[in-house]
Structure 1
């Protein structure tokens, strides 16, 4: 009687439902920025001399990554190829969690704070580091009255 009421594995169905709900919430933007499913993941910080941005793009050719800075908007774009077996080998994929395809991340920067001529980008060990020099703020100076 138990098997006829629940023809499928009930716990497997609950597990599938929980994964689907979690995936739906992972892709929703929140107060901290883009959703957890965004690619590439970013860390952005500031030093007194520069803005530092780290994009985590493992397994990519640095030549296939495009970085643009225009009017205070930094854009990182590219395409990541899928690392799956070819279809001719009669193989099947059971789990595919790695992102593949075209991507584009856009970050708005304080336009009055960055020097567009002072941008460098380096790719090492799967991390793209973009360093943007900050403009020097005018220093206050004392003027002698004569």
Structure 2
């Protein structure tokens, strides 16, 4: 008779630990390049007039997000609470988790912005699980047409 030495919960815990360790070694994205993984997933782009950052964070309360901009570094931090791990049925029995691919726990993403980012012209909106952060570029960095007389 075959009997496992470890419970399924042990494998889930080891998987979680491996993901957390991998995230610790991932490089933070900059405006010119990205790390390999992380939560929330990010899309970063730019136009001549602004820098656009989209953080995909479904199921979060926007009031729990902490978005800070200091010395050209944008930080998006927060925490996603577990929905399944603490659930119990009518008899008070806890649910056994067999597969958990949804990120939960504290997160922090850091993005280094270019020097022409205007720290006084930043907007952040949360809609449909997406945080959209728009940072205008400084007026001096804007392309302009010069008329020749």
Q: TM-score, normalization: structure 2?
A: 0.70
**Aligned partners of 2:147, 2:129: CA distance in 1, in Å?**
49
RMSD of aligned alpha carbons:
3.0
Q: Give the aligned partner of residue 68 of structure 1.
A: 68
Matched, 1:33 2:41: no
Q: TM-score, normalization: structure 1?
A: 0.71
CA deviations over 1:118-143 (Å, ceiling 9, x no partner): 00000000000000010123658689
CA deviations over 1:46-73 (Å, ceiling 9, x no partner): 0121100000000000000010001100
Q: Structure 2 unaligned runs (5+)?
A: 4-14
Matched, 1:117 2:120: yes
**Which of the numbers 102, 108, 112 marks the counterpart of 2:106?**
102
Q: Structure 1 unaligned runs (5+)?
A: 1-6, 9-19
Task: Give the number of the structure with larger relative contact order, counting CA–CA contacts within 8 Å between residues 6 or more apart.
Answer: 2
**Aligned partners of 1:137, 1:90: CA distance in 2, in Å?**
59
Is the radius of gyration larger for structure 1 or structure 2?
A: 1
**Aligned partners of 1:143, 1:48: CA distance in 2, in Å?**
22
The alignment of Structure 1 onto Structure 2 pairs a total of residues equal to 124
